[in-house]
Amino acid sequence: MALLQISEPGLSTLPHQHRLAVGIDLGTTNSLVATVRNGISVVLNNGNGGAILPSVVRYLADGSVVVGEAAQAMQNEDAANTIVSVKRFMGRGLKEVGEISRLPYRFVGAPSPSVAPGNSQGGMVQLRTVAGVKSPVEVSAEILKVLRNTAETALGGELVGAVITVPAYFDDAQRQATKDAARLAGLNVLRLLNEPTAAAIAYGLDNAAEGVYAVYDLGGGTFDISILRLSRGVFEVLAANGDSALGGDDFDQRIHCWLLEKNRLSALGPQDTRLLLTHARAAKEQLTEHAETRITAALSNGEVIDNVLTRSEFHAMSQNLVEHTLQPLRRALRDAKLGVADIKGVVMVGGATRMPQVQHAVEEFFGQTPLTNLDPDKVVALGAAIQANLLAGNRSGGDWLLLDVIPLSLGIETMGGLAEKIIPRNSTIPTARAQEFTTYKDGQTAMSIHVVQGERELVSDCRSLAKFELRGIPPMVAGAARIRVTFQVDADGLLNVSAREMSSGIEAAITVKPSYGLSDAEITRMLQDSTQHAQDDMQARARREQQTEAQQLLEAVQHALEQDGDLLDQAERAQIEAYMGALRDTLQLTDHLAIKRAITALNDVTVSFAQARMDKSVAHVLAGKNIADLEIK
């Protein structure tokens, strides 16, 4: 419940105890886990001595799962069951995965039960494997489980939590999917951190940098540009832009297409498609060091392809991809109200920035040589670990403040299919905005609100995040009801929406479950299905944690009732007390999920109480903002 009194600081931290926390770079191509050891951020090696885990997951018919190099080794042979670059599918619908025909998977567009009614775009894309239909969230969770294992083995203990990085330009659906995957992998997410910001932390703290920096992050499947001001321990993101569907993979695709054309090939099977993509990637990497490279491969029908690709040919075929990254760059600068001359340094992040044509383009744009002294593959994980260490409450490494932004505007659908912006892009998070709506028909008792994200004017050009309905509005004449909707973006960049009818106090609160996301029920089912880690001691630990949280919540609510009980009528108070009793009853149960459900229920039932307490204190802050922000047409 919100707005409760605070317990003593450091309640759950024993003094001098180092709390194990990690930073995880869940990349399109590779994933890494890092931690701060003796004050230094280090990437953790897995059992095989390697630090980099290829983000490849292979499903076998017996239901077992192989992750990493072993899976990668089978990607040509068992392409349909070996998922590569799953990050590109996170929080995405079937229609948005553009290159379906060129990918060796059996896609399922099965809409999830959480799909908002009337949303024709369907739910998150899923993949059919020999082990059944898998959602990208489940596939990503397999990668995270391996990283968690690596960390717990290397550190010799359970993790307090993890910072997971996401592309700065990830929208709400993609962020939520990432957080769900972490949950599924049994990780406590301390924060979702934007990848360029993580890199800036690693770079800035290392170099005691001051001034405005640009982070150019071209990964395997995503492109981000962030403009940050570094000043006396404050990392302030001024603007972020990017393209969450542009990365090194697209350069592979260009070579792949070139191979198809050169050899007059069409309609390859999954195996040959993956084979050529693998060769394309190898050729791309070769061309970083060499002027030309030879590609030879034997297709499944016995046909042998043998082509020489020169660097200049490759540059020509990928030139528009490189140029495509410059537009977000210009936009980010405009949003930050800065010019190229204001940029003190340009930090390069992501394996794809190794390509010479990318470095040249960035150098030409900024008129300065980009900084490449940090390993572009590791800097994000290293920065995430530094932040994780801070968030876990280990103050050994000094103190700094990170002020990040929401990359894409949030809005709602208005008459005529237009999107009205509620929270503009590049707003510093956490942030909230309240907006009032009214009924347009006499006696109208329900209202539907469609939340979208994006910069375009038409709702159909933005991403649908969710639709939710406010029911039980007391019947009044048209225009008499006043429904205040509050949009709250938290420090993870995730949106929560709550709505309340001001004259009756009727409350509807939802966490935006994206149109492309998974419902809580689905996550719970997946958690129950994944019995791999569900040992009894973990159950016991989960139970203890839930018991602690339950007790804290009960105390807090009790305290709030004593302080502000007068804000409630008798029925409301009785309801809260009933839920408190129900929660107390679950404390004896062994099922931690039952406790959790009771916690959630009590939290839910106290939302309007919290709102009332908040209104009591801050109503004057949020009220009225909405009207002032109305567009003048």
Partner 1 sequence: MQLASFDFQQNHFQLFGLAQSYQIDIAQLEQQYRALQAQVHPDKSAHLPDAEQRLAVQRATLVNEAYQTLRSPLRRARYLLSLYGVDTQEENNTVMPLDFLMAQMEWREAVAEAQQAKDAATLDKLEVQIKRETRELEAQLAVKIDIEKSYAAAAGAVRKLRFMEKLAEEIHAAYDAIDL
The catalytic residues are 25, 87, 195, 217
Map residues 575-614 to x or -, x wherever contact with partner 1 holds by CB under 8 A. Answer: ---------------------------------------x
Place of tokens 């980099």: 52
Considering the rule CB under 8 A, would residue 630 count as an interface residue with partner 1? yes
Q: Minimum distance between the CB of residue 131 and partner 1, rounded to whole angstroms? A: 35
Q: Which of 281, 291, 287 is nearest to 28 (CA)?
A: 281
How far, in whole angstroms, is CA 62 from its chain's centroid? Answer: 31
Instruction: Identify whether the C-beta of residue 343 lies closer than 8 Å to the C-beta of residue 213.
Output: yes
Q: Minimum distance between the CB of residue 628 and partner 1, rounded to whole angstroms? A: 6
Query: Per DSSP, what are the bridge partners of residue 501?
Result: 483
Q: Minimum distance between the CB of residue 234 and partner 1, rounded to whole angstroms? A: 5
What is the sign of the dihedral through the CA atoms of 175, 178, 184 and 187? negative
Q: Minimum distance between the CB of residue 401 and partner 1, rounded to whole angstroms? A: 5
Q: How far is CA 407 from CA 28, 167, 486, in A?
A: 20, 10, 19
Give the containing element (helix H, strand E) for 381: helix 379-391
Segment contacting partner 1 (CB under 8 A): 77-85, 271-279, 284-292, 618-626?
618-626
15 C-beta neighbours (distance < 10 Å), count = 5
State how far the Cα of 27 lies from the Cα of 140, in Å rounded to an integer: 10
258/579 with CB nearer partner 1: 579
Strand, helix or coil for residue 418:
strand
Strand stretches in 160-253, DSSP E: 161-166, 189-194, 211-218, 223-231, 234-243
554 C-beta neighbours (distance < 10 Å), count = 17
φ/ψ (deg, to 5) at 181: -65, -40
| Residues between 479 and 538 that touch partner 1 (CB under 8 A) | 488, 490-491
Considering the rule CB under 8 A, would residue 9 count as an interface residue with partner 1? yes
Q: What angle do CA 522, 526, 528 make, to 5 degrees?
A: 115
330/533 with CB nearer partner 1: 330
Strand, helix or coil for residue 382:
helix
| Residues between 410 and 449 that touch partner 1 (CB under 8 A) | 427-432
128/456 with CB nearer partner 1: 456
328/517 with CB nearer partner 1: 328
| Residues between 164 and 223 that touch partner 1 (CB under 8 A) | 190-191
18/128 with CB nearer partner 1: 18
Query: Per DSSP, what are the bridge partners of residue 22?
Result: 35, 162
Alpha helix positions (H), 458-569 = 520-529, 536-564
Map residues 45-84 to x or -, x wherever contact with partner 1 holds by CB under 8 A. Answer: ----------------------------------------
φ/ψ (deg, to 5) at 194: -70, 135
Q: What angle do CA 65, 69, 70 make, to 5 degrees?
A: 50
Per rule CB under 8 A, count of chain residues that contact partner 1: 57
535/617 with CB nearer partner 1: 617
Query: Per DSSP, what are the bridge partners of residue 577?
Result: none
Q: Which two tokens stand for residue 452?
A: 């979208």
Binding residue (CB under 8 A) for partner 1 from 11, 61, 291, 571: 11
Considering the rule CB under 8 A, would residue 141 count as an interface residue with partner 1? no
Map residues 213-252 to x or -, x wherever contact with partner 1 holds by CB under 8 A. Answer: ---------------------x------------------
Q: Minimum distance between the CB of residue 327 and partner 1, rounded to whole angstroms? A: 6
Binding residue (CB under 8 A) for partner 1 from 33, 52, 192, 392: 392
Q: Minimum distance between the CB of residue 63 and partner 1, rounded to whole angstroms? A: 35
Q: Minimum distance between the CB of residue 620 and partner 1, rounded to whole angstroms? A: 8
Alpha helix positions (H), 55-194 = 69-73, 136-155, 172-184
- Residue type (1 letter), 350: G
Query: Per DSSP, what are the bridge partners of residue 436?
Result: 484
58/425 with CB nearer partner 1: 425
292/455 with CB nearer partner 1: 455
Segment contacting partner 1 (CB under 8 A): 111-119, 308-316, 393-401, 586-594?
393-401
403/523 with CB nearer partner 1: 403
Q: Minimum distance between the CB of residue 584 and partner 1, rounded to whole angstroms? A: 17
Residue 8 neighbours by CB under 8 Å, 6+ apart: none
Considering the rule CB under 8 A, would residue 628 count as an interface residue with partner 1? yes
Q: What angle do CA 349, 350, 355 make, to 5 degrees?
A: 100
Interface with partner 1 (CB under 8 A): 1-4, 6-7, 9-13, 19, 160-161, 190-191, 234, 327, 330-331, 334, 387, 390-393, 399, 401-403, 427-432, 455, 488, 490-491, 549, 552-553, 556, 614, 617-618, 620-622, 624-625, 627-628, 630-632
